[in-house]
Every structure is written in C-alpha cells, then in structure tokens.
Amino acid sequence: MNRIILMGRLTRDPEIRYSQDGRQMAIARYSLAVDKRVQREDGVTTDFFNIVAFDRRAEFAEKYLRKGTKILLCGHVQTGSYNNRDGVKIPFFEVVVDEQEFAESKNASSQADRTQSRTQQSGYPVDQNGFMQIPDDIADELAFD
C-alpha cells in the first residue's frame, strides 16, 4: 500500500502549469513544511515535501492555497529519476495529492500571518494576542528609564 498523510504549511505559493496535450489539465507544484514530533539530534524540527496535484486538485490549489496556508493532504509517494543537462541522473521523491483540505480556519491562518509579519518586522517573537515578547535584559538599550 502506498499512502501518505501530511499536515503542514505551504512554503511558497503553488506553481501552476497546464499540460500541452489535447485536454488541458492543470498541474500544481508546491512544497509543504511538516513539523516533526521530536527534534532530531542535529536540531532539525521540520521535514519538507515536494507536492504535485493534478486536474481539479491543482485548480483548487491555484485558487485557494497560498504560502503559509495550513493544509491536510492524503496522497501517494512517487519516485523516479531524470537526466539533467549534464547527463547526470537525478533521483526525485514527491507526493501526489489524492485529497487535500484546509487544516485551520481562515481567521486562524490570517492571525498566524499577522503574527509572523510582526515577528519579522520587530525581530522579537509575538504572542497570540499580538504583544512582543521583549527580553528582560533589554533595559540597558532603551533611551529612557
């Protein structure tokens, strides 16, 4: 049995292309970041999967999925290889989507986006209420007492 179930966030917007054969079929490719339950010894806490969706599932991805969207998907693993321009054989591993759905509400997703952008702007983590987590030892850097 070849079945995989993943829940994670898109690392980029889906890239959409259409097949050139008689029936134009949508093909979506994106990457999914999936958190590990346990941190590895080398500190890695996330796995990244290359995802490909066809036809209606690709059209869904094009219309609704964006970088940062948390989704749950079921699919199957596809492996293979190709020769690059230099003639070197390159193996690949990707997950082909059979089913996909949102893993959180739109409000939760937009809250996560706002929190992430605030963290990036300030450099300090932001709690769920939008307040910055300022370190205790920052008093020395303040211009006022």
* Tens of each residue's pLDDT in the chain, 145 residues: 999 999 999 999 999 999 887 778 999 999 999 998 887 787 778 999 999 999 999 999 999 999 999 999 999 999 999 999 999 999 999 999 999 999 987 776 565 555 555 544 555 566 666 666 666 665 555 555 5
Determine the pLDDT at residue 21: 75
**Is residue 29 classed exposed, middle or buried when 0-12, 13-18 and 19+ CB atoms within 10 A define those classes?**
middle
Angle at 72 between CA 53 and CA 43, to 5 degrees: 105
The SS3 assignment for 15 reads: strand
**Is residue 95 classed exposed, middle or buried when 0-12, 13-18 and 19+ CB atoms within 10 A define those classes?**
buried
Determine the pLDDT at residue 23: 77
Phi, psi torsion values for 128, nearest 5 degrees: -65, -15
- The pTM of this model reads 0.69
* Chain mean position to CA 4: 16
Q: Which residues pair with 54 in a beta bridge?
A: 27
Determine the pLDDT at residue 38: 80
Q: Give one DSSP letter per residue of 51-63, joined into a string.
A: EEEEHHHHHHHHH
Contact by Cβ (8 Å): 118, 132: yes
